[in-house]
Copies of this chain bind each other. A is one copy, B any other.
Amino acid sequence: MKASSFHYKTLKEAPKDAELISHRLMIRANMIKPLASGIYSWMPLGLKILNNVESIIRKNMDEYGCLEVLMPMVQPKSLWDETKRSEEMGPELLGFIDRNKREFYLGPTHEEVITDICRQELQSHKDLPKTFYQIQTKFRDEIRPRFGVMRGREFLMKDAYSFDLNEEGMNKSYQAMKECYQKIFDEIGFNYKIVKADSGAIGGNISEEFHVLADSGEDTLVFNDKDFSSNVELLDESLKKEIETKIAENDTNQIDSIYGKLSIKKGIEVGHIFELGNKYSEAMNLSVQHDNGQRILEMGCYGIGVSRIVAAAIEQNHDDKGIIFPKNISAFDCSLISINEKKSNSVREKAQEIYSFLIGNNIDVFYDDRDASPGIKFSDSNLMGNPYQIVISDNNIDKGILEVIERKNQAKTEITEKDLLSLFN
């Protein structure tokens, strides 16, 4: 892609209400554009990254045998009455009536809809186990939306639901999804922790959260050097208070507890998996024939905040120059920066040659062909966060080399053209 054919208008300053670094950088890098409080449009650059995240999720879910569906955003209130969540969810559930005076909600989650589908679709134990998933727009009417897409009202989520005949099956489906999530977050390139969590309004007994470690995280996580790890929410009050005090005092030392020495970290929740048991299947009568009777199914549900992942990736990977995207989700494989190409024919020709060569080899390159100063090109490229910058200048052409800057550490290396593709292996 050439800059002249793309749309990438960076800003020097972020809006004043943008406190969080990812929010500031996403606005400055022209990734998102606010439309209303907590509601954003994804601009071409941001959407490319969002689509990369989606692809990684979809690929791994498919590999784990999950079946993709697409459920509606608009859901009848009657379904939510069956599970009593119409009241339980509170005012985050945005309701409205259609022109025929029927009541609906804008779906914040899809347990009711998938359970309704499955009570029509699953008849026998032969139909089990099944895990359905979707990547779809949700709406939660947060009272105080903030932090950009980190806590927006309209957002993209991957939600999955498993159906099993018994608890043993549910455990298996849950463990498979846990493993699948690890593959997903590994592939994205996150440094993350899995912790025990509270099940909240979704319900069920067992749940775990996947947290991207970042100082700006809203959640506090504790873990020992064995297998204990938990969201601080689950601890008893006195231990919780002790931890909060330490955080307030910026004390990063470990803390003694009945769980042994605990380390404390801040995290951003990007995934949450639940063993739901029969909360929804019981309320909505989802059962199959089994042993001459009807058997209520055991469910699990599994969420990933797709839009939020983009913000979390930035919280974990940035410097004072801008964003450093992990290479599997960066918008482009590299940037191509031509120095003074309007004045130098040889720079322009060499840049075009390298551009065509990379495209021809399926390398998705962003070629900054604008008539802009090197300073502007470098600062825009640093903001965009592609893993490599390939610099074409008269000086480098004379030396017969290409200059490559690694975005992560700004390390400069000189390579020959024939070694160029090895960067992307």
Contact = CB atoms under 8 A, between A and B. Distances in A.
Interface of A: 5-7, 9, 33, 35-37, 39-44, 47-48, 50, 65, 67-76, 91-92, 94-96, 98-100, 102, 104, 106, 113, 116-117, 120-121, 127, 130, 132, 137, 139, 141, 143, 153-154
A43 B72 contact: no
B39 A141 contact: no
Nearest to A112: B35
A306 B8 CA distance: 28
Given A44-B67, A120-B33, A141-B98, A72 B39 contact: yes
A35 B70 contact: no
B41 A154 contact: no
Contact of A96 (B44, B96, B137): B96
A27 B114 CA distance: 17
B130 A73 contact: no
Contacts of A43: 69, 117
Nearest to A70: B42
Nearest to A7: B67
B6 A141 contact: no
6 contacts: A35-B75, A36-B102, A37-B102, A41-B69, A44-B69, A100-B143
A36 B154 CA distance: 22
A309 to B, nearest CB: 15
A42 to B, nearest CB: 4
A353 B95 CA distance: 53
A71 B154 CA distance: 10
B67 A9 contact: no
Given A44-B68, A95-B96, A99-B141, 5 more contacts: A7-B127, A33-B117, A37-B100, A41-B71, A98-B141
Nearest to A4: B126
Contact of A35 (B7, B9, B72, B100): B72
Nearest to A40: B72
Nearest to A35: B72
A350 to B, nearest CB: 24
B94 A98 contact: yes
A41 B118 CA distance: 12
B91 A99 contact: yes
